[in-house]
Amino acid sequence: MIRAGIVGATGYAGAELCRLLYAHPEVEIAAVSSVSFEGQALSDVYPAYRGFLDLICGNQEEVVEKSDVIFAALPHGLSQELAAQCIEKNKVFIDLGADFRLENEEDYKEWYGGTYLDKSLHAQAVYAMPELFREQIKGKKLIANPGCYTTGAPLALAPAVKGGLVEPQGIIVDSKSGATGAGRGLSQTTHFTELDGAFHPYKVACHRHTPEIEQTLSHLAGKPVRITFVPHLLPVDRGIISTCYARIMPGVTKEQIRQAYEDFYKDETFIRLLPDGKVADIKAVKYTNLCDISLHVDTRTGTLVAVSALDNMVKGAAGQAIQNMNIVFGLPEETGLKLVPPAF
Amino acid sequence: MIRAGIVGATGYAGAELCRLLYAHPEVEIAAVSSVSFEGQALSDVYPAYRGFLDLICGNQEEVVEKSDVIFAALPHGLSQELAAQCIEKNKVFIDLGADFRLENEEDYKEWYGGTYLDKSLHAQAVYAMPELFREQIKGKKLIANPGCYTTGAPLALAPAVKGGLVEPQGIIVDSKSGATGAGRGLSQTTHFTELDGAFHPYKVACHRHTPEIEQTLSHLAGKPVRITFVPHLLPVDRGIISTCYARIMPGVTKEQIRQAYEDFYKDETFIRLLPDGKVADIKAVKYTNLCDISLHVDTRTGTLVAVSALDNMVKGAAGQAIQNMNIVFGLPEETGLKLVPPAF
Amino acid sequence: MIRAGIVGATGYAGAELCRLLYAHPEVEIAAVSSVSFEGQALSDVYPAYRGFLDLICGNQEEVVEKSDVIFAALPHGLSQELAAQCIEKNKVFIDLGADFRLENEEDYKEWYGGTYLDKSLHAQAVYAMPELFREQIKGKKLIANPGCYTTGAPLALAPAVKGGLVEPQGIIVDSKSGATGAGRGLSQTTHFTELDGAFHPYKVACHRHTPEIEQTLSHLAGKPVRITFVPHLLPVDRGIISTCYARIMPGVTKEQIRQAYEDFYKDETFIRLLPDGKVADIKAVKYTNLCDISLHVDTRTGTLVAVSALDNMVKGAAGQAIQNMNIVFGLPEETGLKLVPPAF
Amino acid sequence: MIRAGIVGATGYAGAELCRLLYAHPEVEIAAVSSVSFEGQALSDVYPAYRGFLDLICGNQEEVVEKSDVIFAALPHGLSQELAAQCIEKNKVFIDLGADFRLENEEDYKEWYGGTYLDKSLHAQAVYAMPELFREQIKGKKLIANPGCYTTGAPLALAPAVKGGLVEPQGIIVDSKSGATGAGRGLSQTTHFTELDGAFHPYKVACHRHTPEIEQTLSHLAGKPVRITFVPHLLPVDRGIISTCYARIMPGVTKEQIRQAYEDFYKDETFIRLLPDGKVADIKAVKYTNLCDISLHVDTRTGTLVAVSALDNMVKGAAGQAIQNMNIVFGLPEETGLKLVPPAF
């Protein structure tokens, strides 16, 4: 059994990790930590977990000590030191935060206002989106797990961008996320009475996930890609739809695009490329590590509309982290993640 | 592997059965049927199931033929003939409908307007609420699986009624159910724009589950019990809260009541008796076979307020049916049902 | 024009008062105050109000000075001193808080932990539920506006209790409220992701509104009444359903009960006594000062089930306060309150 | 008083018209009709309306006979004949359907599959979006009231497109609508349990509102405009957000764009151009005729992101129809429409 530890277990991503790891057949949860709730049972913070996850929240040191793999679900800026400790002790470190995601430190400075404490540490990190960069993840110990928006948009666009089927410039990513994306912290925006029945964009064209999406798309395109990214807040708990718009290159047909997607994703367990005429829906992937993609071509304007749906807490956070753990530990990728989404 | 068949697989209860049975380690789904969608894949009806439950809906005969256990999720009145066929072929028949739940045919006539086609068949049926009647279920082939309201209210009241701690008369059951309880069929009441933001009682003091709850409570009390039962429709998808009111017998203390509940449920996997000061919440049991119970004593008026929360599609339908199957087939009761509820 | 001032304008009750008074043809809003947002525009706190209610939040003194009638929407304990000032200056004072609602100071001590600073002031206060105590409101200057639960339950029960048609003991009030009832303050309970899809009781048999409901029912019954009161939190923004259970006195018929209600409410603008077979629904009264009542008799158990629905922010707070203002100032009671509820 | 009649009064648009006209100080509702509910009271269909709109649904002929202005809220294809009758009798006809919106009959054929029965009748119609084409509406009798999406997107883009500040090609309109937009008719898509927690696009790049939006933008641009239009279904009852993307012309600054919008909308009662840093939200305009617009410039990619929020049932249907009636009858435009949106 792999001994897993979760640092930041009482935030939403941490709590979701605990829930999924509890059911993982090759994992035992060795320890969890929480700064806010140290000394309390996880099931006191989340009563839903009573009888299952009654373990007491300890501190980071205990988690590192007792675990083979450490998942960190911390606010950005807090993972770097912890990662160094873990690597030194030869543990696997999977970071759900943003500290190791951006290759270019300048981007990190600009969008997060932080610096890289140890560049050699960053050199060991891998940006771990399995469907796009699987081979690079194997054998790594420092795993930068992608964010939620930054998973959905690239997966929707990857085959088209990599195949040169769309113009790499002028791409629009219009995303809509459920409220768990904003975390457990209280705010007026996510107060029930203000979010229920509401819907609005936020951080328009200035959200921190922009450079991360661009980094991935640039790798796929083989040249710099700039996007316009606009997230919106949905009055639902989970799920992200990313509606992505790209101009189709002259001469490229609808059929070629579809074929490219089918080829690209044909062996992927967690990608469901929907048949023509169907649309991706967050409800159809809820509580699972799936990413549904629907393809639409606007022949009137020569625009590809690629839509992805995923559960931001699973494929957009905890589930993908476990998928990465499975890769690192040589387990079948779907271990513990073969979940049928509830239909209602 | 137990070969399981589901008749009425495209209704909500049937579809939930398929989802849960898919993940059951000792079961393979042998066949499913649907009158409305015969010839179509289950995943065409429920796109969430794509890639998991793509089996084609056939007819009842195929299901009976191919299965060791047949689950029937049919409108009332349609199970009796099917049950007879299954019993004749020595199959296990688990009925999620109401046809075999009421011992007294007069009640069935009065509340459902039907008759018992074969009284000897009814004599073989067992009313299968495991926490209350476990021993009677073992070895049976004709299983009457309780309804949703009729599970939550008795579980909330059982220890008090059985122990003679409350007056058997004057009991009030005020229940609130999510919209899946109304099924997949369309109606103005469950049209999104009319239910969203709405809340109201329905079938006040005349709901069909009344005699079934009374039957269970009467067995527990050892004398006839009459209740006032008022269900309400919640603008949520899943979950039932039953807030039950009973007058405490003179001299009975709060501590005695709590002790009675603790004794009664101490070995039950699926019952979580919450500590004093906590309240049962539908969200904490969602997608699981759990029933949470919170106890409250109004010392000012001598009233017990016992509150239960369950997921109407799982403990109130498909999950309890699988729990019953496990009992009948001699499996550990929680097989395939050890599910951690999501906290958000 | 009546010059109205609102103290505590940025809480939910205060903000709703502003919205309704803005549309009142005989009122001009003279001043508003807020401790938290002094110096800011009301429409900065509530962007929905932009262009309508852009007035700047001042302090209490300004509000008292500039207004003929002062509405106070403050946490309990903060109204008594303000009331004294207003009465001294011969202003009308309408308190949406609880400081003047309970006639018996002992109840106030027990349930709110406070004392009455000036008993002579309390002697001038009137408990202002127009449908029950209209005549006593006229000519008064110190108006104790009832709370939300404490409006719905008594209106559901009044004709039966006053007419001696039900036993005054053993009454159960099972209420369900939308989240605005919990106010604008942030809490984990009303965090969107925790309330969405949730439903649970709270403060079971120990909510502060209990003695206030009992006070009203005792006046109606002419003898002491004790109730068991259990509120629940609905995942909707507005509305309260109170499902009230009372034992019908021997010999009293269903028809007598209905007649009593029809007589009692026949001239009431804001009460809609629904025809037999209909049920009260919070959605049908949303954004209005209406209270819908549906009557149901459980002849099997001799129980009256009376259900009321109201908008907790309007009939349960701001609307009723304006109704009271209209009475005090001699205006037709429905002035500014003749609002058609949206059907969807 | 203007005598108003509503044909198709029991659909959502018709019912909303009735609610708003009831409160209009210069209107009396003379008659309403419904094919499905002829002979029934409007308040039987919509219980929320009890006591206000108890008038009986008659037939079209009665409505035409008794009214000065006839509002038609009918499925497309059914207005043309009725319009002819009204015009012949010298009545004002305001069509909430699509039959008179498209100038080019070819577009109507392609997108609606219908033909124009009488071209001379269409020549009398005016496409009545007051903020864009106010002068052309005055004095007209045949009013084509715009649709919901077709109001929000053009209002968001108008100043930029008219001013030549953005490229007329490559415009993306990503819209999200509440479920009332799908009407009162039942469907699996708008069944509560399937829409709650769901979110998905539909009719991607093939929705009928596409040519209508293009028609408006082409008029503004003075040249043909093609857009990619993707609507999504929100799990809320009311409201549309349209997030519109357009490439900024070389040399045009953020300040120029803002100035153009301020100039364009400076005298408009129903347009709230939000200050920099704010975002349009459907909740802030609910139940009102307002359209909020927020402007955002992505300087990294040279893209204008203009976002509009409106209530699809009011500014997107019934409210705009009344605004048009006010114009035609020479009333101040905001008569009956000066509504403060509830903040919660």
Question: Which pLDDT tens digit goes with each residue over C173-229?
Answer: 999 999 999 999 999 999 999 999 999 999 999 999 999 999 999 999 999 999 999
Q: Is D340 inside any structural domain? A: no
Contact A301 D200 (CB under 8 A): no
Q: Is B333 inside any structural domain? A: no
Q: Report which of D341, D287, B193 is spatially closest to residue C15, judged by C-alpha positions.
A: D341
Q: Is D341 inside any structural domain? A: no
Q: Is D24 inside any structural domain? A: yes
Q: Which value, in Å, is the radius of gyration of the alpha carbons in chain D?
A: 19
Which one-letter DSSP state was computed for residue A297?
A: E
What is the least distance, in Å, from the CA of D85 to any CA of chain C? Answer: 31
Which one-letter DSSP state was computed for residue D287?
A: T
Chains in touch with B (3+ beta-carbon pairs under 8 Å) read A, C, D
Straight-line distance from the first to the last Cα atom of chain D, in angstroms, rounded to the nearest whole number? 34
What is the least distance, in Å, from the CA of C32 to any CA of chain A? Answer: 22
What confidence tier does B174 reach under pLDDT thresholds 50, 70, 90?
very high
Contact A48 B278 (CB under 8 A): no
Contact B280 C238 (CB under 8 A): no
Chain D interface, best mutation among A177, A189, A200, A286, by max D CB count within 10 A: A200
Number of other residues whose CB lies within 10 A of the CB of residue B233: 23
Query: In what order do the strands lie in the sheet containing D125-127?
Result: D57-58, D27-33, D2-7, D69-72, D92-95, D142-144, D125-127
Q: What is the mean pLDDT of residues D252-265?
A: 98
Question: Which pLDDT tens digit goes with each residue over B280-320?
Answer: 999 999 999 999 999 999 999 999 999 999 999 999 999 99
CATH of the domain at B234: 3.30.360.10
Contact B200 C237 (CB under 8 A): no
Question: Which pLDDT tens digit goes with each residue over D272-283?
Answer: 999 999 999 999
Chain B residue at shortest CA distance from C211? B300
- How confident is the model at residue B194, as a pLDDT? 96
Chain C residue at shortest CA distance from D284? C48
Q: Is A116 inside any structural domain? A: yes
Q: Report which of A115, A118, A75 is spatially closest to residue A95, judged by C-alpha positions.
A: A75
**What CA–CA distance (Å, rounded) separates B99 from D104?**
61
Mean pLDDT estimate for chain D: 97
Tokens of residue D141, six digits:
């009798």
Number of other residues whose CB lies within 10 A of the CB of residue D136: 13
Q: Which stretches of chain A score pLDDT less than 70?
A: none
Question: Which pLDDT tens digit goes with each residue over D201-227?
Answer: 999 999 999 999 999 999 999 999 999
Q: Is C255 inside any structural domain? A: yes
Residues D25 and D162 in one domain: no
Contact A190 C193 (CB under 8 A): yes
Q: What is the mean pLDDT of residues B123-128?
A: 98
Residues C21 and C112 in one domain: yes
**D190 interaction partners in chain B (CB closer than 8 Å):** 191-193
Residues C179 and C306 in one domain: yes
Residues D74 and D111 in one domain: yes
Residues D127 and D254 in one domain: no
Question: Which pLDDT tens digit goes with each residue over C271-321?
Answer: 999 999 999 999 999 999 999 999 999 999 999 999 999 999 999 999 999
**C235 interaction partners in chain B (CB closer than 8 Å):** 234-236
Please name the member of D187, D188, D237 whose beta carbon is closest to the beta carbon of B196. Answer: D237
Three-state SS at A174: strand
Amino acid identity for residue A105 in this structure: E
Dihedrals φ, ψ of A143, to 5°? -110, 120
What is the least distance, in Å, from the CA of D83 to any CA of chain C? Answer: 28
Chain C residue at shortest CA distance from B201? C279
Please name the member of A47, A238, A342 whose beta carbon is closest to the beta carbon of B284. Answer: A47
Please name the member of A186, A197, A236 whose beta carbon is closest to the beta carbon of C191. Answer: A186
Chain A residue at shortest CA distance from B270? A51
Residues C243 and C203 in one domain: yes
Chains in touch with A (3+ beta-carbon pairs under 8 Å) read B, C, D
**Contact pairs from chain A to chain D, CB under 8 Å:** 161
Alpha carbon D107 to chain centroid, angstroms: 19
Q: Is D336 inside any structural domain? A: no
- How confident is the model at residue C218, as a pLDDT? 98
- How confident is the model at residue B232, as a pLDDT? 98
Contact D191 B180 (CB under 8 A): no
Give the count of domains, chain C: 2
Determine how β-strand D92-95 pairs with β-strand D142-144.
Answer: parallel
- How confident is the model at residue A134, as a pLDDT? 98
Contact C194 B283 (CB under 8 A): yes
**What CA–CA distance (Å, rounded) separates A266 from A262?**
6
Contact A342 B16 (CB under 8 A): yes
Q: Report which of C211, C239, C225 is spatially closest to residue C319, judged by C-alpha positions.
A: C239
Residues C91 and C25 in one domain: yes
What is the least distance, in Å, from the CA of C292 to any CA of chain A? Answer: 23
**What CA–CA distance (Å, rounded) separates C198 from C212?**
28
Question: Which pLDDT tens digit goes with each residue over C116-175?
Answer: 999 999 999 999 999 999 999 999 999 999 999 999 999 999 999 999 999 999 999 999
The range of the structural domain enclosing residue C251 comes to 149-311
Mean pLDDT estimate for chain B: 97
Enumerate the H helices of chain A as residue ranges.
12-22, 42-45, 60-66, 79-88, 105-112, 119-124, 130-137, 149-162, 192-195, 209-221, 254-265, 319-328
Chain D residue at shortest CA distance from C12? D344
**Catalytic hit among D18, D57, D148, D244:** D148
Residues D307 and D291 in one domain: yes
Q: Is D18 a catalytic residue?
A: no
Question: Which pLDDT tens digit goes with each residue over A10-56?
Answer: 999 999 999 999 999 999 999 999 999 999 999 999 999 999 999 99
Residues B196 and B301 in one domain: yes
**A188 interaction partners in chain C (CB closer than 8 Å):** 184, 186
Q: What is the mean pLDDT of residues B238-251?
A: 98
* CA angle centred on A197, ends A191 and A202, rounded to 5°: 65
- How confident is the model at residue B325, as a pLDDT? 98
Contact A237 C197 (CB under 8 A): yes
Determine how β-strand D240-247 pairs with β-strand D171-177.
Answer: antiparallel
Which one-letter DSSP state was computed for residue A315?
A: I
**What CA–CA distance (Å, rounded) separates A83 from D185?**
56
Residues B182 and B112 in one domain: no
D175-to-A124, A276, D161, D310 alpha-carbon distances in Å: 42, 21, 18, 11
**What CA–CA distance (Å, rounded) separates A341 from B302?**
45
* Cα pseudo-dihedral C131, C132, C138, C144, rounded to 10: -100
Question: Which pLDDT tens digit goes with each residue over B148-164?
Answer: 999 999 999 999 999 99
- How confident is the model at residue C176, as a pLDDT? 98
Chain C residue at shortest CA distance from B170? C301
CATH of the domain at A15: 3.40.50.720
Place of tokens 């706190």: C45
Q: Is B343 inside any structural domain? A: no
Residues B254 and B154 in one domain: yes
Residues C91 and C187 in one domain: no
What value of ipTM does the predicted structure carry?
A: 0.97
Contact D235 B196 (CB under 8 A): yes
Residues of C with CB under 8 A from a CB of D: 12, 15-16, 19, 22-23, 46-53, 180, 197, 237-238, 272, 274, 278, 281, 283-287, 313, 338-344
